[in-house]
Amino acid sequence: MSTTTRLVLRADSGAAIGVGHVARCVGFAEQARARGWWVGFAGTVAGHFADALDSLGVQRIAVDRLLDCAADVVLIDNYSVGDVRADVHASGALLVSVEDGRFGRRPADVVVDCGLVRHARPDDGSTLVLAGCEYAPLRARVRVARDVRRARPVDGEPLDVLVVLGGTPAVDVLDAVLTAVLTAVRQAGVRARVRAFSTAETVVAQRFPHVTVQ
C-alpha cells in the first residue's frame, strides 16, 4: 500500500479572472512535489502556468472527478466554489481553502488568507486559519528573484518599484499598499520610481500623482 501523500489542487485562470489562483497553486505544487507528494490539478489553465505544472509532473484531473482521486488533501483556490467540506471529508480528504477576505470564503480544515490586509473573519467552524502575507505560496522563481535583488549592490541609481496586486484589487488594499511603499521610500531617503499595474487608474492618479499607472 502506497504511503505517498496525494494533493489535488482546484483553480481556474482566464481573461476575466487572471492567473493569480493558478500561480498560487503552482507554488503549492512546487513544495508538495519537493516532498515527494503526488499532485493533481483540476481546472482551466494554459500558457506559462500550464507548462509549469507539466514540468512538475502534476497530473491533470477533470473537475467532475476531483473527489475520485483518493486524495489526502484537496486545496481549493476558487471564488465560485461553495461549502464543500462535507463532500471532501466524505471522499477521505482534508480541505484547504485559499481565500481573500470574503472572496472564496468557505469552512475548511485549513484556511489560507495571505493578503496584505487582514480581514475580520466569522467563526464558521474552520479548524486552522493562517492569515497574513507570511503564508503566501511564493513560487521558486519569485524567491530566486528576491535573493538576486537582495544581493545587488547599491549604486545610487533610483530604485524601480513595481506594485502588482492582480487585475481588480480592492481600492482600500491598493491604497494601503501604495501608501506603505511611498512612506518607506521617503523614510529611507532614497530615490525611487514607483509604478503600479492596476485597472483603477483614476483612483491611483487622484491619490498618488507621482505613481505611474500601467
pLDDT at 161: 86
Are 10 and 95 found together in one domain? yes
Are 49 and 86 found together in one domain? yes
Tell whether 145 is covered by a domain: no
Are 131 and 159 found together in one domain? no
Are 15 and 117 found together in one domain? yes
Tell whether 70 is covered by a domain: yes
Are 109 and 63 found together in one domain? yes
Residues 6 or more apart from 72 whose CB is under 8 A from it?
5, 6, 7, 92, 93, 94
Are 109 and 200 found together in one domain? no
Other beta carbons less than 10 A from residue 16's beta carbon: 8
Q: CA–CA distance from 167 to each of 21, 78, 117 (Å)? A: 12, 15, 17
pLDDT at 71: 97
Tell whether 96 is covered by a domain: yes
Query: Tell me: the pLDDT tens digits for 182-196?
Result: 888 889 888 888 888
The pTM for the full model equals 0.81
Are 52 and 114 found together in one domain? yes
Asked if 102 and 121 touch (Cβ cutoff 8 Å), the reply is no
Quote the crossing angle between the two packed helices 20-34 and 48-55, to the nearest 10°.
Answer: 10
Quote the domain boundaries for residue 175: 153-213
Tell whether 23 is covered by a domain: yes
Sheet holding 110-113, edge to edge: 59-61, 38-42, 6-11, 73-77, 94-98, 110-113, 128-131
Are 70 and 126 found together in one domain? yes
Tell whether 141 is covered by a domain: no
Q: Is pLDDT of 1 > 50?
A: no
Q: Is pLDDT of 169 > 70?
A: no
Q: How many domains does the chain have?
A: 2
pLDDT at 15: 78
pLDDT at 164: 78
- For the chain, strand residue ranges (E) read 6-11, 38-42, 59-61, 73-77, 94-98, 110-113, 128-131, 159-164, 192-197, 212-213
Asked if 192 and 178 touch (Cβ cutoff 8 Å), the reply is no
Tell whether 124 is covered by a domain: yes
Domain boundary among 101, 135, 169: 135
Are 126 and 192 found together in one domain? no
Query: Tell me: the pLDDT tens digits for 16-41?
Result: 788 889 999 999 999 999 999 999 99
Are 87 and 185 found together in one domain? no
Q: CA–CA distance from 128 to each of 57, 97, 107 (Å)? A: 29, 10, 10
Tell whether 147 is covered by a domain: no
Tell whether 170 is covered by a domain: yes
Are 109 and 75 found together in one domain? yes
Are 28 and 129 found together in one domain? yes
Domain boundary among 135, 170, 196: 135
